[in-house]
Structure 1
């Protein structure tokens, strides 16, 4: 299924594209997908028994699918949905970069947060509390707070690193400022067997290759949290001169995804884990299957998810195009700086568009004005730099994470689907700047 090029996302009452998206073609495809599993009975079965049940039914009922909906949500299916269609800005040429699979195995679960928990548990975090010191889990002080809490819950020891500083490349825009700082991580002296948990946040991607190499050198294990980066990765040219797409987490021990209600690919709840290691995949089965799945994603959720996968690349491309336009606005006039890097070799999946204010007061003022036009936006995460020494280790300075906590604002991904988002925000920035000049006079 494809959406016509001129298809418009239906607006919510606030005047911005609704989410989940209201597109007739997609709505019909989801309805058909759900109807199929209602008809064949998958909606009321355990995932592990669905395939057997359907195979038996197929012998007597021609046309019944022999593959359960859970089995369709494999690593190959999910990563194939991340095929990238890019337009060469110089020649107008359309390029397709095929997604690699790299032999990864996928496991569905109930949420992105449960995916993080399962990945940590599969790597042994918290499994030997009585016999050894808590496992160090290194993560950025600026991160989704649920990751920190999950580490605590399992009995691991959060070890905080800093983020990269902002680095102005053009007026009103920085190409860095959100991803975990590699020099900061390198300064941390955690023992072999520690875990590095890296999140790809707000449309920015950490250097997966450098982080994987560091973990290999230090005998650490790597988890990449791609809950905000479904479909993101890098494009490289292979020996045959073909573009090849490498998804985030390709070399990680575990990569996690989320299909929660606010995510760019959604079925209300749900998540997934991927690993290139057959051994780790079977270790996870030993944790989850008791014998039924303890952290399931329902067949109904899978049925709603599958029709969206072919649209991931297109929707991400729309969001990236509008994020680029937003990054080129005069944020400096209102005391702010956008954070966006338009490197054509990096494929982004912006869940949020980040803007850094010069101080907390400016952030509040700009957010208030943006909410006057009902733009879906808000503050970034609260950094963990203020957590007590009892709860976490802070072996390196966390100055940049503190700045993000106090000054970052983010625009929601559904606003990035509006073809006029840059024009509307541009007009709002002019109003803010005009009001500032009046007050200063």
Structure 2
């Protein structure tokens, strides 16, 4: 699954692929796309002006449509149809703003008026910190749940340990119209089927943060016996994506949110169109992003293959365990490759060793388990999330592109042991 020689990426000074990506063919496609809108004037007009004056869709509308395709039918494994797809996609300035808009559209806010109490938003204590802060910004009440426990850590590999715990979520009590916000992090894909059913039973809303997981999903068999690809977010009220400067799809900044619900999309439009778009993504960003979307699926497959090779290394010899599962029913879109160390000191030592070969890596997120009771509810123990906060290290997605990444890391681990 290695890149052909003519599709390889230029390396940065650290010896690993540069980011944003530097590939001759892709760079030419991006230049051509940007030049097109510089020549026809789309770079300096509103997308709706272009739509009104042109017979063909403008770059904004083409990019918006392609985002939905890249996350759904383009991501389906060969021979499988994509089950469900978001009929409405809205581009926006960032993944964080996508989360904010999704929560706003679902009515998240403080107590007041008809709302007797602040909206409860259930999210993992180990999550992108911006999600917690967005809930606070809107006046909602963060309710923290734990992550799955790791398993088989002594063998140097655990099939679980990043995604939020279904058992912990089931133990949390929250009123109807609360929100469950689940994030697909570090190449892991939350099994949202059961959680969607729980939300239906409890009349909660479901938001899936796929900012690290565009193109991911699960292979399932329908009741009629048909095997299909179910993209992340298919069962949610809203799904969010990010095109920030560090993401596998990048235009410096940018994001999107998607839904299949007409009414929820219309409510969002009423919020952000005043009458011009108050949360825009520029046409120049669209032009830079558009060519990358058709590359996503094949590059995700390469990252997955190299992540699998990394997971098979002897991480136990340096006091660590890779968190990875080869479940063939899961289609992953790795953004970071996660490795759990024995403790914080071991993590620091291993990061230093990996950085000695220039490998782009670092600590995982700082979990929110230590936030005060004034800021959040903690109805369940957060032991596993605390462990991730103290001991998780992650390897950046650009290091998952070269075919020799596992060999280089293997040699480095041997020197450290």
Structure 1 length-normalised TM = 0.90
- Structure 1: how far apart are the matches of 2:80 and 2:223? 14
Q: Summarize the Cα distance change of 1:77–1:157 in structure 2 as closer, same or farther, 3 Å threshold.
A: closer
- 1:115 aligns to 2:105 (yes or no): no
Mapping for residues 254-293 of structure 1, pairs under 5 Å: 254-293=238-277
Alignment correspondent of 2:82: 99
Aligned with residue 57 of structure 2, among 57, 67, 74: 67
The more displaced of 310-319 and 123-132 is 123-132
Deviations 1:348-376 (CA, angstroms, capped at 9, x unpaired): 00100000001111001101111111100
Structure 2 length-normalised TM = 0.95
- Structure 2: how far apart are the matches of 1:120 and 1:360? 34
Alignment correspondent of 1:369: 353
Alignment correspondent of 2:163: 179
Give RMSD over aligned pairs. Answer: 1.8
Alignment correspondent of 2:187: 203
Alignment correspondent of 2:232: 248
Alignment correspondent of 1:233: 217
Deviations 1:216-271 (CA, angstroms, capped at 9, x unpaired): 01000000000000100012345887652211000100000000010001111100
Alignment correspondent of 1:59: none
- 1:222 aligns to 2:206 (yes or no): yes
Alignment correspondent of 1:212: 196
Q: Summarize the Cα distance change of 1:298–1:138 in structure 2 as closer, same or farther, 3 Å threshold.
A: same
Alignment correspondent of 1:310: 294
Mapping for residues 396-415 of structure 1, pairs under 5 Å: 396-415=380-399
Deviations 1:257-298 (CA, angstroms, capped at 9, x unpaired): 000010001111100000110000000001110110001000
- Structure 2: how far apart are the matches of 1:16 and 1:402? 31
- Structure 2: how far apart are the matches of 1:398 and 1:378? 22
Secondary structure at the aligned position of 2:80 is classed as strand
- Structure 2: how far apart are the matches of 1:137 and 1:238? 31
TM superposition shift of 1:154: 0.5
Deviations 1:313-361 (CA, angstroms, capped at 9, x unpaired): 1000000000000000000000000000111110000100000001111
The more displaced of 18-27 and 377-386 is 18-27
Alignment correspondent of 2:326: 342
- 1:390 aligns to 2:380 (yes or no): no
The more displaced of 229-238 and 267-276 is 229-238
Aligned with residue 419 of structure 1, among 390, 393, 403: 403
8 Å CA contact retained: 1:143, 1:381? yes
Secondary structure at the aligned position of 2:249 is classed as coil
Deviations 1:297-319 (CA, angstroms, capped at 9, x unpaired): 00011111111111111000000
Mapping for residues 349-360 of structure 1, pairs under 5 Å: 349-360=333-344
- Structure 2: how far apart are the matches of 1:381 and 1:328? 24
8 Å CA contact retained: 1:99, 1:244? yes
Secondary structure at the aligned position of 1:349 is classed as coil
Q: Summarize the Cα distance change of 1:294–1:387 in structure 2 as closer, same or farther, 3 Å threshold.
A: same
Mapping for residues 127-206 of structure 1, pairs under 5 Å: 129-131=112-114, 132-168=116-152, 171-206=155-190
Q: Summarize the Cα distance change of 1:307–1:267 in structure 2 as closer, same or farther, 3 Å threshold.
A: same
8 Å CA contact retained: 2:210, 2:240? yes
- Structure 2: how far apart are the matches of 1:198 and 1:6? 38
